[in-house]
Structure 1
Amino acid sequence: MLIRAVIFIFVLASLRRVSSKFPPTQQYPYQQELDHGGHATLYWNYDDTYITMELHIKSMGWIGLGISPTGTMKGADIYVGWVKDGKGIITDRHGVGNEFPPLDKVQNIELLLAKEGDGGWTVLKFRRTIDTCIEDDLQITRNAMWIIYAWGIEDPVENKLRPADIHIAKGKRSINLLGHLNVEKSAFPQGEQHATLRATIGRITVPAEEESFICRLVPLPDVTEKHHIVKMEPVVSPGNEKIARNIVINQCAHPLPIGAKMNTSGKCYTFNAPVDYDVCAKPLSMWDQRDFGEAIRFPSEVGFPFGGAEDPKYLLLEIRYNNPDKFAGKL
């Protein structure tokens, strides 16, 4: 009999802030602040064929956005654009490693709007098909995907991006561009056996910082045969909604490196983090405030596997806190 497990992630989440002095050109159902300092925001929507994105970055030079399978440039679908003499330009590129991204043979990105000014912001609005069926493009799926971004201080000379046009800032963020997996209300298939795993971030001290990231490395159950996670649900403790922004669940490689700290919460992206973030760079899912009370349920024929010899054995919980009052204390 197929054994599938239900996982409940007890986490915190809250609404993001919008930093661009340019308002979005239309009302979008989705938006995400990309960087730590409020210098880059992505707005988007989609239908059955197209995804439309609007990128706001505080720069008067070139700006870039990529969809990546790993959070790095390798294998990423990359779009770089700028505004010069009032005219917008966007290029369709692909990543071949940590180096200059070459142009795609087929330029199938459609620029809808470009403008700059008003405090040093650049805005690019563009769209592409969700699945282009072109070799250099990456299909957008309903799983969490890495968004990479960067920007430079100047526009390219003669409107031609060159290796000399290096970035002054860059980063990455895990996002569900097409929403979560099926959020159905129907019962599980008859005859399935279920168990519940409760994973929490634990009691932590919130740093007296406007924004911070806390991670916790948790083991999946030690079982002797393959199981499947079929449902994930965030539960937000009352009163905590105002001091957190979103959460990401990442899969971790096995074996873990020496020094990894199990069931210990700490700041992400630091030497004191529970584990090197690169070891847990494959996102499984994410939530923000719009998803409170919304469970992710996999279709009846699939699930996230664990327990097999090649399956992940650990998850990394990541919570992004928004603390504008710089409150410090226990949660």
Structure 2
Amino acid sequence: MAWALLLGLLLLTALAAPSQGNRPRATSRLRYSRFLDPSNVIFLRWDFDLKAEIITFELQVRTAGWVGLGIRNRSTSVQSDLVVGGVLPDGNVYFSDQHLVDEDTLEEDGSQDAELLELTEDSVYTTMRFSRPFRSCDPHDLDIRSDTMRVQAAYGLDDTPRLDRERTFVKSIFLLQIVHPDDLDVPEDTIIHDLEITDFLIPEDDTTYACTFLPLPIVSKKHHIYKFEPKLINHNETMVHHIILYACGNTSVLPTGIGDCYGADPAFSLCSQIIVGWAVGGTSYQFPDDVGISIGMPLDPQWIRLEIHYSNFHNLAGVYDSSGIRVYYTAQLRKYDMGVLQLGFFTFPIHFIPPGAESFMSYGLCKTEKFEEMNGAPIPDLQIYGYLLHTHLAGRALRTVQYRNGTQLRTICKDDAYDFNLQETRDLPHRVEIKPGDELLVECHYETLDRDSLTFGGPSTINEMCLVFLFYYPRNNISSCMGYPDILYVAHELGEEASDSMEGMMAMNNVEWTPESIKKAERACKEAQQMVIIKTIEEAVENTTGWIPEIIPTPRGPCLESSGGKVEPQDKTPAGARAAPAALSGSGTATVRCLSLAALLLGQGAISWLLATLQAGV
């Protein structure tokens, strides 16, 4: 009887599936999805486990041939990784973790770090689901990071994997999105209000900033705006670069009509506290359930400045636009009133970037020690929950670093693979506290190898910006805190004569830009004293000064060592690697492999204990 019980237990445990924590299984719903091509042939679903640092992808392609998915380098497809799979005519499947050795040639990785979960083919689609670690110890696998990732998908019409540029697509995606919109509350009493420009004739100029002033919804008691989305008109090409709503102080005297935001009439640039913003590549954004934009109270803004930046690079004539922002608001109040703090390099021509620079860093300092004085009342600690990063075409990376009492605390937000065409509001994984007296430093990384003249800070897309918008609560009256270097010091360090800021800016045109002078200019900008400009919602301005602190790099976490496949010499496990959990081991075979409960019990000595117990006559 005991032996029969043992055999039954062994059979039961052999059929049981292992526990895999929060990692999605072959049939689990994956929360995020996106089409990767303009024709909607390639559909990607994904989800991830932040604690285990495992991401699961499901690629569905309208083909009976092979399919592939991976992460691509920014500038070239060479050395990009690609997980490849398909179903043969006889029903057998193939699956492999590979990389590109040149633009067209695939080669299998020595270490197989992707685990197949499902691979099927029907009359329409081939569907491949697999998981992989965020960071494997294989140098052929690009890391999955909390940055913009360039996801590459490819497919073929038969079962011979080879790249065809007509069937290879790359899309920038922020994969590690923390909050999914479906997880947020949608109030039943939601009211929709559009803040838009109407039938505006877009000028034929390359760059136009159109501004108008509009009232916020008129309500008899306090409400909260909890969501916004762009309202865009379809044109033959994308002409709207960004749309921003600025809150106006209630004492502001505002102009009427539509005007150039930064033109002859300075009144159209009034109101500088951003409340929401959309830029190229962004979608809708819903605030966390405990925060919202307050409207309807005496101190709440009653008007906004709507700013739309048009990029008409083909100088098209006769194009009318009626774009704007749609806001959703409710009488169901949230716990906190939110605000937005603008940081970075003050946008004007003192911000310069040399031509031919493989890498050039710019810095903007914020000192919060005067916030309470300018606010007119004590300021509670700022609780940061989200952010938006912004540069123009030369931008490659941004980060915001926090300091307290001269000591670096943390990197609040960053994107080491910034893409101008994917600018969106993102949630922090954990809320960050900023105390009065803290310093905040924005670092922007640029590349200008394709330019033969200086790039200056300014509003045009061919100018540059270095901006970070922090979303926080509880709201105060500070709208922006930005810095810029002493340009006279920079000019003198570069051997140029200048007696005022204008001459300092003009002197940059006299410099012969070489790799050596580029690095010298970067160093001078970092060593120069920073002028810090702090503004309130009522346009009050206060200046202070400071110095750029050093940034201590954040160490990378350990990689996940694969137990699948051979390890080539170049794939040797680096120091600090951690072994892959057995259930997450790599798979280079066609079947979904898992560790049975019987093997788990055997490894823990449970079977031996049971045998001993049975032999003792229990």
- Give TM class, smaller chain: 0.5 to 0.7
* Aligned equivalent of 2:241: 216
* Aligned equivalent of 1:176: 174
Question: In the aligned structure 2, how far is the partner of 1:202 from the partner of 1:282?
Answer: 26
Aligned pair 1:99/2:104, yes or no?
Answer: yes
> Greater RCO between the two (CA within 8 Å, min separation 6)?
1
Change (3 A) 1:228 1:169: farther
Q: Which amino acid aligns with 2:107?
A: P
Gaps spanning 5+ residues in structure 2: where?
Answer: 1-25, 180-207, 212-230, 243-308, 312-344, 352-361, 367-383, 396-416, 449-454, 458-462, 467-618
**Cα displacement (A) at 1:315:** 6.7
**Cα displacement (A) at 1:201:** 9.0
Gaps spanning 5+ residues in structure 1: where?
Answer: 1-23, 182-199, 235-247, 255-280, 317-331
Question: In the aligned structure 1, how far is the partner of 2:166 from the partner of 2:445?
Answer: 43
* Aligned equivalent of 1:58: 62
* Aligned equivalent of 1:142: 146
* Aligned equivalent of 1:305: 443
Indicate if the aligned counterparts of 1:81 and 1:91 stay in contact, CA closer than 8 A: yes
* Aligned equivalent of 1:226: 363
Deviations 1:149-179 (A, max 9, x none): 11111112xxxx4x5x646512111111112
Question: In the aligned structure 1, how far is the partner of 2:445 from the partner of 2:175?
Answer: 29
Deviations 1:249-292 (A, max 9, x none): 675238xxxxxxxxxxxxxxxxxxxxxxxxxx94275448xx6x
Change (3 A) 1:215 1:208: closer
Indicate if the aligned counterparts of 1:32 and 1:41 stay in contact, CA closer than 8 A: yes
Question: In the aligned structure 2, how far is the partner of 1:139 from the partner of 1:116?
Answer: 29
* Aligned equivalent of 1:252: 393
Equivalent residue for 1:207, pick from 201, 223, 234: 234
Change (3 A) 1:137 1:233: closer
Aligned pair 1:122/2:259, yes or no?
Answer: no
Q: The residue matched to 2:86 in structure 1 has which SS?
A: strand
Equivalent residue for 1:28, pick from 19, 26, 30: 30
Q: Structure 1 stretch 133-142 or stretch 93-102: which is displaced more?
A: 93-102
Change (3 A) 1:60 1:296: same
**Cα displacement (A) at 1:99:** 2.2
Q: The residue matched to 1:99 in structure 2 has which SS?
A: coil
**Cα displacement (A) at 1:29:** 1.6
Q: Structure 1 stretch 78-87 or stretch 52-61: which is displaced more?
A: 78-87
Question: In the aligned structure 1, how far is the partner of 2:394 from the partner of 2:96?
Answer: 34
- Normalising by structure 1, what TM-score? 0.54
Aligned pair 1:283/2:419, yes or no?
Answer: yes
Question: In the aligned structure 1, how far is the partner of 2:142 from the partner of 2:447?
Answer: 29
Indicate if the aligned counterparts of 1:249 and 1:283 stay in contact, CA closer than 8 A: no
**Higher helix residue share:** 2
Between Structure 1 and Structure 2, whose CA radius of gyration is higher? 2
Change (3 A) 1:34 1:228: farther
Question: In the aligned structure 2, how far is the partner of 1:175 from the partner of 1:43?
Answer: 12
Q: The residue matched to 1:102 in structure 2 has which SS?
A: strand
Deviations 1:191-245 (A, max 9, x none): xxxxxxxxx9969973368xx75563989723457216999757xxxxxxxxxxx
Indicate if the aligned counterparts of 1:52 and 1:128 stay in contact, CA closer than 8 A: yes
**Cα displacement (A) at 1:136:** 1.2
Question: In the aligned structure 1, how far is the partner of 2:94 from the partner of 2:445?
Answer: 49
**Cα displacement (A) at 1:304:** 5.0
Indicate if the aligned counterparts of 1:233 and 1:296 stay in contact, CA closer than 8 A: no
Equivalent residue for 1:42, pick from 37, 41, 44: 44
Q: Report matched runs for 1:181-196 at 5 Å.
A: none
- Normalising by structure 2, what TM-score? 0.31
Question: In the aligned structure 2, how far is the partner of 1:124 from the partner of 1:302?
Answer: 44
Question: In the aligned structure 1, how far is the partner of 2:431 from the partner of 2:101?
Answer: 33
Q: The residue matched to 1:86 in structure 2 has which SS?
A: coil
Counting aligned pairs with the same residue, the percent is: 23
Q: Which amino acid aligns with 1:38?
A: N
Indicate if the aligned counterparts of 2:85 and 2:96 stay in contact, CA closer than 8 A: yes
Equivalent residue for 1:314, pick from 453, 457, 464: 464
Change (3 A) 1:167 1:124: farther
Change (3 A) 1:305 1:215: farther
* Aligned equivalent of 2:155: 151
Question: In the aligned structure 2, how far is the partner of 1:201 from the partner of 1:153?
Answer: 47
Change (3 A) 1:94 1:113: same
**Cα displacement (A) at 1:305:** 1.8
Aligned pair 1:73/2:77, yes or no?
Answer: yes
* Aligned equivalent of 1:191: none
Question: In the aligned structure 1, how far is the partner of 2:209 from the partner of 2:30?
Answer: 31
Q: Which amino acid aligns with 1:206?
A: I
Question: In the aligned structure 1, how far is the partner of 2:209 from the partner of 2:120?
Answer: 42
Indicate if the aligned counterparts of 2:394 and 2:446 stay in contact, CA closer than 8 A: no
Q: Which amino acid aligns with 1:32?
A: R
Counting matched residue pairs gives 224
Q: Which amino acid aligns with 2:177?
A: G
Change (3 A) 1:155 1:231: same
Question: In the aligned structure 1, how far is the partner of 2:164 from the partner of 2:134?
Answer: 29
